[in-house]
Amino acid sequence: MNKTISLVAALMMVSGSVAAQTFDEAFNAQRGMNGKGHSFTFEGKSYTTDHPEEVAAAAPANAANAKQLLADAKAQYAKALEVDFGWTLTKGLLSSANKALDAGEFRKSMELSARAQYHSRMGVAQYHQSQQEWLMAVPN
Amino acid sequence: MLIFHEEKNEEKPMRKNIIKHALLGLVLIGASSMTLADYSADQIAKGKALYLNKKAGNCIACHMIPDADAKLPGNQGPPLLAMKARFPDPKVLRMQIWDPTVKNPTTIMPPFGKHWILSEDDIDAIVAYLYQY
Amino acid sequence: MKIIKSLLAGASLALVASITQAATSGNTLASVDPEADRLALQSFFQKRFPQVPVDDYVNGIYALDAGSREQWEEIEEFPPYEFDVEEGEVLFNTPFANGKSYADCFANEGVGIRQNFPRWDESQGKVVTLESAINQCREANGEKKLGWKKGKIAQISAYMAYTSRDNVFDVQIPNDGAKAAYLDGKQSFYTRRGQLNMSCANCHVAGSNVLIRADLPGPALGHVTHFPVFRSKWGNLGTLHRRYAGCQSNVRGVSQKAQGEKLSNLEFFQTYMSNGLVVNGPGARK
């Protein structure tokens, strides 16, 4: 894997017009091909294909962690709404996460919050990506 | 620049993306020492259910597949035939389901993995099912 | 203002876009050319469906799909919106509490004017759709606003469209303010939304008349000429912004506010794309 990445890097230097692969692009390619829990190297450092939200949801299941994750998810959802790119399922996920927290089902709550947070992070990413890409779809 | 073919809903990727994709291809050649896995009957059945389920993969909304149970498919996307020949590396097929916009920025197909429409296990099951055709 | 912010973002991206984009209508106030966009969309559909005359696009998917056209023509013989047009006429002619009526708010007393909406209103600095003009008229006369998506407002709009049938759409873009609104609407039309990551254009440009299971998405050309519509799925009459909200939530995105700036700009763009086609609303749809 290391070898391949340095080969890619070498190629990038040759063809100057190609933008270097960003971490997100590298992560997505690795996750897309391999799923979760896969290790890969990017610019000399090791990473796994787990999303930060999944890592947070795997923390010890307790009230403090569940509360924190729910608060983070709500804050991220607010950011998605701010750029007008909220997704429809997120609100329901947050409300279920809240209920699970109240019922003491911390693991369940954390998983739901993580999902809501991920949706919202992707909504914001979608907003930024769309700014760059929408024109490609226009016939002319 | 007209980015659509006359009849089919497939678009030419941008030059930049072709290059990006070629690079991805190189990564894949390096990475895919893995051979085609054998899939369990359960996994294939699960993939099929996801393929047909309107609230899950709903692949049938846009793709025909030569499975007698996949009736009245849509045709927004290409028919899913000769999958092993077209995608000798399962990782490439997996990636195409996970986020088809990498290969084709203007595709109508949703990024099932990137947007958490399906779980990673779901996507593996769909790959297993598709490889039966 | 959000629009200005995205215009600036657009400007910074123009450099990047120039690699892949020929020097035609673009994504900045300086480069966007509404008339070029309109002709490009027409030519896209003409190339794709050479046998379909441009004027026929007011019939939506039925212009392209002979199979469903016959069934639709039968429906139009006894149109499901007939009652709504009659009811709309009654509402339109019923005076407000102050003795005035809708006729007092519109040019030509509100008859035969659908083709001029949506319009850029310089004094308000925004796009005014026919439905928002109806509610502004009510408020100016001390009446409460009507709900945006169905019921009375759709009926009044249906009646006003009905009196305008066969008039040619003539949406004007008189200045940079209007052009910015148009550009914002254009961007919205081509922007992916929701968990399913789809834009209007995915289904209604590239994906038009291609099966999504049993459904055939209609063409973007002539997309708005027949609104408001009586939709069998709804079982009643609804406005364009009701349909917009439905589409946005179908792709699992939080829908934008009916008659808010974003959807009004989207309607402005879409109606401009149909300039030169005739008003044929209200319509009947699946």
CB A70 within 8 A of CB A101: yes
Q: What is the pLDDT of residues C120-141, one digit of tens each?
A: 999 999 999 999 999 999 999 9
Give the pLDDT score at A19.
Answer: 61
Question: Rounded distance, CA A60 to CA A63, Å?
Answer: 9
> Residue C231 pairs with which residues in a beta bridge?
C236, C285
Chain C contact for B101 (CB, 8 A cutoff): yes
Same structural domain for residues C93 and C226? Answer: no
pLDDT of B32 > 50? The answer is: no
Identify whether B31 is part of a domain: no
Same structural domain for residues C155 and C249? Answer: no
Angle at C194 between CA C188 and CA C195, to 5 degrees: 150
Query: Comparing C-alpha atoms, which of C254, C216, C261, C259 is closest to residue C239?
Result: C259
Question: Rounded distance, CA B65 to CA B53, Å?
Answer: 14
pLDDT of B108 > 60? The answer is: yes
Give me the percent of chain C exceeding a pLDDT of 90. 89
Locus of tokens 């100057």: A16
Same structural domain for residues C40 and C88? Answer: no
The pair of structure tokens assigned to C20 is 């892949």
Interface contact flag, B108 C19, Cβ < 8 Å: no
Interface contact flag, C210 B117, Cβ < 8 Å: no
Listed by number, the residues of chain C in 225-264 with a beta carbon closer than 8 Å to a beta carbon of chain A are: 249, 252-254, 256, 262
For residue C203, what is the DSSP state? Answer: I
Q: Which amino acid is at C123?
A: S
What residues in B contact C213, CB-CB < 8 Å? Answer: 60-61, 72-74
Same structural domain for residues C96 and C61? Answer: no
Question: Rounded distance, CA C69 to CA C144, Å?
Answer: 40
* CATH number of the domain within which B42 lies: 1.10.760.10
Domain count of chain C? 2
Same structural domain for residues C191 and C275? Answer: yes
Q: Which amino acid is at A33?
A: M
Local structure of A96: helix, strand or coil: helix
Domain count of chain B? 1
Shortest alpha-carbon distance between residue A16 and chain C (Å): 14
Same structural domain for residues C177 and C57? Answer: yes
User: Which element (helix H / strand E) includes C120?
Assistant: strand C119-121
Q: How many beta carbons lie within 10 A of that of residue A43, not counting itself?
A: 11
Identify whether B55 is part of a domain: yes
Same structural domain for residues C105 and C234? Answer: no
CB A97 within 8 A of CB A113: yes
Reported as half-sphere exposure (CB side, CA atoms, 13 A), residue C272 has a value of 29
The radius of gyration of chain A's CA atoms, rounded to the nearest angstrom, is 18
Q: Considering C124, C139, C162, which residue would you say is the last residue of a domain?
A: C162
Q: Which amino acid is at A109?
A: S
What residues in B contact A29, CB-CB < 8 Å? Answer: 24, 27, 95, 102
CB C138 within 8 A of CB C147: no
Ramachandran area for residue A60 (φ above 0: left; ψ -120 to 50: alpha; else beta): beta
Q: Considering C130, C162, C194, which residue would you say is the last residue of a domain?
A: C162
Query: Comparing C-alpha atoms, which of C238, C245, C243, C247 is closest to residue C202?
Result: C247
Give the pLDDT score at B38.
Answer: 77
Give the pLDDT score at A140.
Answer: 78
Same structural domain for residues C229 and C97? Answer: no
Identify whether C265 is part of a domain: yes
Question: Rounded distance, CA A40 to CA A5, Å?
Answer: 10
Interface contact flag, A126 C254, Cβ < 8 Å: no
Identify whether C10 is part of a domain: no
pLDDT of C175 > 50? The answer is: yes
Instruction: Give residue C24's pLDDT band: very low, low, confident or very high (50, 70, 90).
Output: low
Identify whether C6 is part of a domain: no
For the ranges A88-97, C6-15, C193-202, which has the lowest average pLDDT?
C6-15
Segments forming the whole domain that contains residue C140: 82-162
Identify whether B42 is part of a domain: yes
For the question of residue C247 being annotated catalytic, the response is yes
Q: What is the pLDDT of residues A3-49, one digit of tens each?
A: 444 433 333 343 434 567 899 999 999 999 999 999 999 999 999 99
Segments forming the whole domain that contains residue B81: 38-130
Give the pLDDT score at B22.
Answer: 44
Question: Rounded distance, CA A24 to CA A122, Å?
Answer: 12
Identify whether C240 is part of a domain: yes
What is the interface pTM, i.e. ipTM, of the complex? 0.86
Same structural domain for residues C115 and C186? Answer: no
Local structure of C252: helix, strand or coil: coil
Interface contact flag, B115 C197, Cβ < 8 Å: yes
Same structural domain for residues C185 and C265? Answer: yes
Mean predicted lDDT score pLDDT of chain C: 92
**Angle separating helix axes B15-31 and A2-14, nearest 10 degrees:** 150
What residues in C contact A134, CB-CB < 8 Å? Answer: 27, 187, 190-192, 199
Q: What is the pLDDT of residues A88-133, one digit of tens each?
A: 999 999 999 999 999 999 999 999 999 999 999 999 999 999 999 9
C143 Cβ neighbours under 8 A, 6+ residues apart? C96, C97
Question: Rounded distance, CA B127 to CA C87, Å?
Answer: 55
Q: Which amino acid is at C282?
A: P
Q: How many beta carbons lie within 10 A of that of residue C108, not counting itself?
A: 11
* CATH number of the domain within which C52 lies: 1.10.760.10
Compare CB distances from C196 to B6, B73, B110 and report the shortest one's residue: B110
Same structural domain for residues C241 and C119? Answer: no
Same structural domain for residues C125 and C223? Answer: no
Give the pLDDT score at C277.
Answer: 98
CB C40 within 8 A of CB C25: yes
Q: What is the pLDDT of residues C131-171, one digit of tens each?
A: 999 999 999 999 999 999 999 999 999 999 999 999 999 99
Q: What is the pLDDT of residues C60-108, one digit of tens each?
A: 999 999 999 999 999 999 999 999 999 999 999 999 999 999 999 999 9
Pairing label, strands C236-238, C229-231: antiparallel
> Residue C193 pairs with which residues in a beta bridge?
C198
Question: Rounded distance, CA B54 to CA C284, Å?
Answer: 26
Q: Considering C162, C186, C206, which residue would you say is the last residue of a domain?
A: C162
Question: Where are the domains positioned within chain A?
Answer: 2-50, 53-134
Q: What is the pLDDT of residues A68-98, one digit of tens each?
A: 999 999 999 999 999 999 999 999 999 999 9
The pair of structure tokens assigned to C24 is 């035609």
Q: What is the pLDDT of residues C235-274, one digit of tens each?
A: 999 999 999 999 999 999 999 999 999 999 999 999 999 9
Identify whether C8 is part of a domain: no
Mean pLDDT of B67-93: 96
